[in-house]
Amino acid sequence: MSTPTLEGHSSALDAAENTAAHLVAITLRVRRFNPEVSADSEWVDYQIQVDPKERVLDALHKVKWEIDGSLTFRRSCAHGVCGSDAMRINGRNRLACKTLIKDVNPDQPITIEPIKGLTVLKDLVVDMDPFFQAYRDVMPFLITKGNEPTRERLQSAEDRERFDDTTKCILCAACTSSCPVFWNDGQYFGPAAIVNAHRFIFDSRDEGGEQRLEILNDKDGVWRCRTTFNCTDACPRGIEVTKAIQEVKRALITRRF
Amino acid sequence: MATEVSPADELQLTGSSAAYSPDNPAPVIEPPRARTKRTPRATRTNFELYGWLFMRLSGVVLVVLVIGHLLIQLVLDGGVTKVGFAFVAGRWASPFWQYWDLAMLWLAMLHGGNGLRTVINDYAEQPNTRVWLKTILFTAVAFTIVLGSLVIFTFDPNIR
């Protein structure tokens, strides 16, 4: 006695199984670097068949799992939350896991490079230490005085709204590595660190705003921003990064005058 | 199989000509001036704040001063052909134009000098390069301001 099943396939099932009909041929042009082979990085083309509704990360997976296992890149959650897979796709900083193949013109080779301004360690993996050092330097944690309340630190909805935009940051480095000032001078804090300082400076519960403003008032702080808006364009979370930097500048000026 | 590379040769090898291996990886290219734990901490001055504000305020004033200057010198009342020793002498007889030109000289030199200072900060990688470029810049700005101010106030229309 076997489980009763439908004899034959329905047309919908046939269509679903015949996935090859959806696939398009694309070329992934990846900037590869392996210090154990050569000091030069080089462009390597991979021809693959993918569904255009899939993401660039899926295409990279296909290359790594089926063609060349030595291709190296970072990804963790693969759903736009962890911020591991920021890379330069067709010359723009994006998350590979949030970029659909159909949105990056699959008729042309899709170029994939590591993000700029940080040391490339291998293929698409860069050294994020300077980025996180800048993040640490703005003290991205709640600073308070006095006794700890027995329950939550309450905050009105309006006070929460004040810094809502900058709480969305996932530290993917897409903004900082799109900043031309950061490319030339890595001592600059960079947009991401300023966004995370903004998140606490404008938090009504926090009392370390003065210290953070003092840090960002320095020569490598917000005054190096040239408002080129590259960071706002690059942010995969849609944070208005340049606006946040301008708000910190305004806070510094109104504090002084 | 790694080729034997003596430390002296290692520096000479570049690109694909070198025999790199897991034991002898190629040097990675570090960006200039990366932020590290040793990056100096805040100096706690407001210099950059004042610099940033000065650029905005002087820019607005300079728009008026420079466009007025260009109109008077080059467009109105006969254009550039009228400009000569007598024309300048006539204008500098009035303290208003003396102070107009003085304000334009000071603001333009400081505005441009500060702009170049930020360019140097952005693009000069080595600390020594930065110091030298800024020294040259500061000298040029100071020299031009001093010389210009001196000419405006000691100008003698009867010089022969």
Q: How many Cβ pairs closer than 8 A exist between chain A and B?
A: 108
- Report pLDDT digits (tens) over A94-111: 999 999 999 999 999 999
Question: Of B20, B42, B48, which is closest to A37 when you measure between CB atoms?
Answer: B20
Interface contact A151, partner B, CB < 8 A: no
Q: For residue B146, give Cα distances in angstroms to A191, B65, B113, B116.
A: 40, 20, 14, 19
Question: Which residues, in sequence order, are CB contacts of A59 under 8 Å at separation 6+?
Answer: A26, A28, A48, A50, A101, A110
Give which of B115, B104, B92 is closest to B64, Cα–Cα.
B104
Domains in chain A, please, with CATH? 19-126 (3.10.20.30), 129-146+156-256 (1.10.1060.10)
pLDDT of residue B14: 53
Average of per-residue pLDDT values in chain A: 92
Could A134 and B35 be called an inter-chain contact, meaning their C-beta atoms sit closer than 8 Å? yes
**DSSP secondary structure letters along A27-46:** EEEEEE--TTT-SS-EEEEE
Confidence of residue A7 (pLDDT cuts 50, 70, 90): low
pLDDT of residue A209: 92
- Report pLDDT digits (tens) over A179-230: 999 999 889 999 999 999 999 999 999 999 999 999 999 888 999 999 999 9
| Strands (E) located in chain A | 24-32, 42-50, 86-89, 92-95, 110-113, 120-122, 125-126
Could A219 and B48 be called an inter-chain contact, meaning their C-beta atoms sit closer than 8 Å? yes
A220's enclosing H/E stretch is none
Q: Pick left, alpha or beta for residue B33 (phi over 0 → left; psi -120 to 50 → alpha; otherwise beta).
A: left
Measured distance CA(B32)–CA(B26) in Å, rounded: 18
Q: For residue B119, give Cα distances in angstroms to A116, A139, B113.
A: 20, 29, 10
- From chain B, which residues contact A within 8 Å (Cβ)? 13-16, 18, 20-22, 25-37, 39, 41-44, 46-49, 51-53, 118, 121-123
pLDDT of residue A18: 65
Question: pLDDT digit of tens for each residue in chain B (160 aa)?
Answer: 445 545 544 445 555 556 888 888 999 988 888 888 887 776 778 899 999 999 999 999 999 999 999 998 888 877 788 888 888 888 888 999 999 999 999 999 999 999 999 999 988 888 899 999 999 999 999 999 999 999 998 888 887 6
ipTM of the complex: 0.80
pLDDT of residue B43: 73
pLDDT of residue B157: 81
Q: What residue segments make up the domains of chain B, in order of their start?
A: 47-154
Confidence of residue A20 (pLDDT cuts 50, 70, 90): low
Question: Of B34, B36, B53, which is closest to A253 when you measure between CB atoms?
Answer: B53
Q: Which chain A residues have a beta carbon less than 8 Å from that of B20?
A: 35-39
- Report pLDDT digits (tens) over A131-148: 999 999 999 999 998 888
pLDDT of residue B81: 83
Q: What is the pTM of this model?
A: 0.85
pLDDT of residue B1: 43
pLDDT of residue B80: 82
B47-154: CATH topology: 3 helical TM bundles of succinate and fumarate reductases (1.20.1300)
- Could you tell me the end-to-end alpha-carbon distance of chain A, in angstroms, rounded to an integer? 87
pLDDT of residue B2: 46
β partners of residue A100: A55
**Nearest residue of A to residue B50, measured between CA atoms:** A253
Confidence of residue A86 (pLDDT cuts 50, 70, 90): very high
Interface contact A124, partner B, CB < 8 A: no
Phi, psi of A181 (to 5 degrees): -70, -40
Question: Which residues, in sequence order, are CB contacts of A257 under 8 Å at separation 6+?
Answer: none
